[in-house]
């Protein structure tokens, strides 16, 4: 059976600690922006924590929302790319082919979630961070767009491991860096085609919604929160 | 052989052409030279044109070829984007339209080159008169025995000068 | 009262219109030099951008399209001068068009060359622009024809081919004349370009027929080109871009700015080449009336676009609308309304005010206004994406400004060269062209 990867994020559990952001940086060789560039909005975080404030000072409530690529089934970013640098793979992932990119920025404009990040310059890492690059992930060159891949390298590794051990891939075998590092266990990753998987059950849960559901992009990330 | 008659006004040329054609010369043998377009109503110097047809044919052919090409390339390497079908007619309709128009443009230009005769100077030996501004030259291709008659017709209709060129 | 140019002796017309081709004045050299320097500065800026990366621009998440796309839309818009003026006026056989058409067609070709550069300048990896072309390649992949950028590419290629041919066809009789009268090194150039034109009636016939057909085709293409440019935006799901009005709105805006560009160019040519006899009050009057008409049409579209958004009051769209009309981008928006509507309306709707000078002033105002309008369309939408937490602001850098300035210099330079090589008014079209008899 083909996989269809998805994720559930429990907003009621999220504390906004940004451990997922750091883990993603380490796992996916994300370039580190200098303060200058960061002030210009040139940071690259494949997962980011959006903050929304409710109420008036001093009675303010902060809401956190981790936003990453929603891996939409009908992704608006895909058809606008003239060179197929982003397309839908058979497992439902919205994948990136860095080598094909020419840098038209169109995909990023057409992403309602604004989760695409551009390499404005050749990537840089302050010493000694260049020593901790993940060998499984390509370092992207200047001029290409990038975004969350659901840690496709981990999916592949898990599949290979399972094949070598001669067993089917079990639920929970694949854990993207953000999921693995979440101390509140707010994030769950798994196969939506497997009705028994944890993520499928959470998706059936009455608390599950999509981000910007009204756009009809059919995202594969579910947000769980208390229904009022 | 060729006769070249020089005229000052259009009406005279028109009379000459009508008389020459009545005298048995075909409009293929007649050529006008001028520094401006000279137009006559139907039946004087008919130059049938297939340019519109060529434009439409070029448009249809190019549009179909482009659509077929898009269809083939999309199926050649099947990649799904945005949940659209592999060959999505509406998403590539603009390509079909633009290529249809390109076909019309290119075939119009090609047909212009052909019909105006600039790319097929059939008869390089045919003399080309030097036209003074404002005058119109009528070149008549005829057999030697017709030359006298043709020349008389032209001078009667108002030619200010007639020249014989080329061998019979 | 001056003689209508149609009644002047042909030799005089020819002399008048061929004269600008010979001799190079001091001011011509200075203008060319200035254009070269500004153009070179733009090239340096582009080189710097290629070397360092797109980070040298003011672009940032989420404003991924900025000055370059604004320039692209603006120049493609300017390119509608030629087709509209020349094709429509040719089709309805308006006699006053004659001294105006070639200048307009030349604007089209040059503006397209410039506009066509911007999608490449804007690429993150500009050296790989040819990956958008369908050719068998080592990547074993064809381009994605579903992308509006591919639509753009085909539309611009078609429009470019059509406009070049449309400019070239009526040039043939003139270059044939030039080849006859010219003894310098240019003779070979003119002779090659004239394709052995002899002035026979077959040639004239084919030319007139081809021009009529081309006028029809190029009109259909021109409308589609700017519609496709508009669809680059309206195919995206972004608030205030995803709108059905964009196609006609952009086409109207393009024609509007095209007429303005033509008026500015004609005013300059008239002064510099001393064509007062040929480009008369009448031409400016008629074009100014067209400009006024388009200004009203533009205003109508702008009201239609913004009123529906405001009345609908949808939060995501209102964020963009607010940024446009009340917040950061409000000065640009209201300047747009002032420059595109108030100025031309006041200057051109009062008969007594409608002179060559005011028409030129109104046109410059419209050109600035239309550039700003594209900016107001492109940037506020991107700066206010659907997830409000990702909003941002955009300020251009010197690189973008230098490249933008360079394109204006490039336009001036191409026009300078063109007006030295070819008569800017179609000489042969001036000949009395009596109606057909019977």
Please answer yes or no on whether C201 and B91 come within 8 Å at the CB atom.
no
Q: Which two tokens stand for residue A67?
A: 């936003």
**Rg of chain A (C-alpha set):** 18
Rounded Cα gap, residues C393 and C330, in angstroms: 13
In this predicted model, what pLDDT tens digit does every residue of C339-398 receive, in sequence order?
999 999 999 988 888 889 999 999 999 999 999 999 999 999 999 999 988 888 899 999
Predicted ipTM of the assembly: 0.91
A87·B84 Cβ contact <8 A: no
- Looking at residue A165, its pLDDT comes to 94
Q: Which of A71, A80, A58, A67 is nearest to A21 (CA)?
A: A67
Among B4, B5, B35, B51, most C C-beta atoms within 10 A, so best to mutate, is B35
- pLDDT values of chain B reduced to their tens digit, one per residue, 168 residues: 888 888 888 888 888 888 888 877 888 888 888 887 887 777 777 788 889 999 999 999 999 999 999 999 999 888 888 888 888 888 999 999 999 999 999 999 999 998 887 777 656 677 788 887 778 888 888 887 788 888 888 888 877 888 887 765
Strands, DSSP E only, in B8-134?
A: 30-33
Two structure tokens written together for A36: 């200058």
Q: What is the pLDDT of residue A34?
A: 86
- What contacts C4, CB < 8 A, 6 or more positions away? none
As a whole number of angstroms, the distance between CA B14 and CA A54 comes to 89
Q: Do B49 and C206 touch (CB under 8 A)?
A: yes
Q: Cα separations (Å) of B4 from B8, B13, B108, B127, C203?
A: 13, 12, 31, 9, 18
Residue B72 CB neighbour total at 10 angstroms: 11
Spatial CA neighbour of B30 closest among B136, B108, B134, B160: B136
Question: In whole angstroms, what is the distance from residue C182 CA to residue C174 CA?
Answer: 12
Query: How many Cβ atoms from other residues are within 10 Å of residue A109's Cβ?
Result: 27
Residues 184-223 on A with a CB inside 8 Å of B are 218
pLDDT of C39 higher than 80: yes
In this prediction, what percent of chain B has a pLDDT beyond 70? 96
Q: Does the CB of C226 have a partner CB in chain B at under 8 Å?
A: no
Q: What is the mean pLDDT of residues C294-313?
A: 95
Res. C433 pLDDT band, cuts 50 70 90: very low
Mean pLDDT score, C280-306: 93
Which pLDDT does position C383 carry in this prediction? 93
CA C170 to chain centre: 20
Contact residues on chain C for B34, CB-CB shorter than 8 A? 199, 201, 204
CB contact under 8 A, A79 and B80: no
**Distance (Å) from the alpha carbon of C79 to chain A's nearest alpha carbon:** 23
Q: Which of C141, C148, C205, C237 would best serve as a mutation to test chain B binding (most B beta carbons within 10 A)?
A: C205
Q: Which of A143, A102, A105 is nearest to A122 (CA)?
A: A143
**Predicted local distance difference test score (pLDDT) of residue B82:** 87
Range 74-113 of B in CB contact (< 8 A) with A: 79-84, 91
For chains B and C, CB pairs below 8 A equal 164
Q: How far apart are CA C281 and CA C286, in angstroms?
A: 9
- Output the pLDDT for position C8: 66
* pTM of the predicted model as reported, rounded to 2 decimal places: 0.93
Q: Which residues pair with C242 in a beta bridge?
A: none
Interface of C with B in 408-437 (CB under 8 A): 428, 431-434, 436-437
Contact A75/B84, CB-based, under 8 Å? no
pLDDT digits (tens, 9 = 90+) for C53-95: 999 999 998 999 999 999 999 999 999 887 777 888 888 888 8
Q: What is the DSSP letter of C129?
A: G
User: Which band of pLDDT confidence, cut at 50, 70 and 90, is reported for residue C6?
Assistant: low
Beta bridge partners of A61: A54
Which residues in chain A show pLDDT less than 50? Answer: none
Residue B81: its chain A contacts at CB < 8 A?
Answer: 75, 78-79, 81, 84, 86-88
């Amino acid at each position: 059976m083909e996989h269809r990867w998805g994720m559930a994020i429990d907003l009621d559990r999220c504390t906004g600690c940004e451990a997922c952001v750091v883990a993603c940086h380490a796992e996916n060789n994300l370039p580190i922006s200098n303060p200058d560039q960061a002030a210009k909005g040139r940071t690259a975080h494949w997962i980011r924590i959006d903050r929304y404030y409710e109420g008036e000072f001093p009675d303010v409530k902060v809401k956190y929302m981790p936003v990453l690529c929603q891996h939409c089934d009908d992704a608006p970013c895909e058809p606008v790319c003239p060179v197929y640098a982003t397309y839908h793979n058979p497992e439902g992932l919205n994948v990136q082919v860095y080598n094909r990119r020419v840098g038209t920025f169109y995909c990023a404009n057409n992403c309602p979630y604004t989760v695409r990040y551009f390499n404005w310059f050749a990537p840089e890492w302050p010493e000694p961070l260049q020593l901790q690059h993940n060998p499984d992930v390509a370092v992207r060159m200047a001029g290409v767009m990038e975004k969350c891949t659901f840690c496709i390298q981990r999916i592949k590794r898990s599949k290979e491991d399972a094949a070598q051990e001669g067993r089917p891939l079990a639920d929970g075998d694949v854990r993207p860096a953000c999921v693995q590092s979440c101390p509140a266990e707010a994030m769950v990753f798994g196969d939506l085609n497997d009705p028994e998987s944890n993520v499928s059950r959470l998706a059936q849960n009455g608390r599950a919604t999509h981000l910007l559901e009204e756009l009809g992009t059919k995202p594969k990330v579910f947000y769980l929160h208390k229904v009022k | 052989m060729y006769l070249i008659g020089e005229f000052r006004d259009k009406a005279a040329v028109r009379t000459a052409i009508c008389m020459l054609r009545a005298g048995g010369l075909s409009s293929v043998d007649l050529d006008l030279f001028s520094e401006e377009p000279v137009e006559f109503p139907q039946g004087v110097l008919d130059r049938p044109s297939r340019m519109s047809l060529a434009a439409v044919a070029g448009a249809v052919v190019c549009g179909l070829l482009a659509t077929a090409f898009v269809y083939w390339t999309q199926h050649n390497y099947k990649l799904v984007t945005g949940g659209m079908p592999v060959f999505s007619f509406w998403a590539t309709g603009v390509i079909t339209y633009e290529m249809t128009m390109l076909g019309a443009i290119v075939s119009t230009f090609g047909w212009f080159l052909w019909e105006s005769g600039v790319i097929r100077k059939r008869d390089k030996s045919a003399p080309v008169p030097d036209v003074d501004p404002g005058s119109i030259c009528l070149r008549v291709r005829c057999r030697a025995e017709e030359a006298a008659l043709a020349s008389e017709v032209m001078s009667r209709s108002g030619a200010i000068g007639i020249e014989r060129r080329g061998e019979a | 009262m001056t003689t209508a140019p149609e009644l002047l002796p042909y030799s005089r017309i020819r002399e008048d219109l061929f004269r600008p081709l010979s001799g190079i004045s001091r001011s011509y050299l200075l203008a060319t030099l200035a254009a070269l320097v500004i153009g070179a500065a733009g090239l340096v800026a582009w080189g710097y951008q290629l070397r360092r990366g797109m980070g040298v621009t003011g672009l940032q998440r989420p404003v991924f399209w900025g000055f370059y796309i604004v320039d692209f839309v603006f120049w493609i818009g300017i390119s509608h001068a030629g087709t509209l003026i020349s094709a429509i006026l040719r089709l309805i056989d308006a006699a006053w068009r004659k001294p105006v058409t070639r200048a307009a067609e030349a604007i089209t070709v040059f503006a397209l060359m410039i506009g066509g550069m911007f999608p490449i300048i804007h690429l993150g990896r500009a050296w790989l622009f040819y990956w958008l072309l369908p050719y068998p390649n080592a990547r074993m992949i064809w381009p994605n024809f579903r992308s509006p950028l591919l639509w753009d590419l085909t539309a611009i290629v078609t429009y470019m081919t059509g406009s070049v041919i449309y400019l070239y066809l009526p040039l043939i009789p003139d270059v044939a004349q030039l080849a006859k009268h010219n003894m310098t090194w240019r003779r070979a150039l003119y002779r090659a370009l004239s394709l052995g034109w002899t002035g026979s009636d077959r040639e004239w016939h084919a030319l007139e027929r081809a021009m009529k057909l081309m006028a029809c085709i190029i009109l259909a293409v021109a409308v589609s080109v700017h519609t496709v440019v508009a669809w680059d935006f309206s195919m995206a799901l972004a608030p205030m871009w995803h709108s059905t009005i964009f196609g006609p709105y952009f086409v109207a805006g393009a024609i509007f700015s095209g007429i303005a560009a033509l008026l500015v160019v004609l005013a300059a040519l008239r002064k510099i080449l001393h064509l007062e006899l040929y480009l008369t009050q009448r031409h400016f009057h008629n074009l100014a009336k067209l400009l006024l008409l388009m200004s009203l049409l533009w205003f109508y579209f702008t009201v239609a676009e913004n009123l529906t958004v405001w009345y609908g009051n949808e939060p995501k769209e209102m964020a963009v609308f607010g940024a446009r009309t009340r917040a950061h981008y409000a000065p640009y928006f209201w300047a747009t309304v002032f420059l595109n509507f108030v100025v031309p309306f006041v200057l051109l709707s009062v008969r007594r005010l409608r002179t060559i000078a005011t028409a030129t002033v109104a046109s410059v105002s419209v050109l600035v206004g239309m550039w700003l309008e594209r900016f107001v369309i492109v940037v506020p939408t991107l700066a206010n994406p659907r997830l409000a937490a990702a909003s941002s602001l955009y300020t251009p850098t010197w690189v973008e400004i230098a490249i933008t300035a360079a394109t204006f210099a490039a336009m001036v330079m191409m026009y300078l060269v063109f007006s030295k090589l070819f008569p800017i008014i179609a000489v042969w079209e001036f000949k009395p062209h009596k109606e057909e008899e019977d």
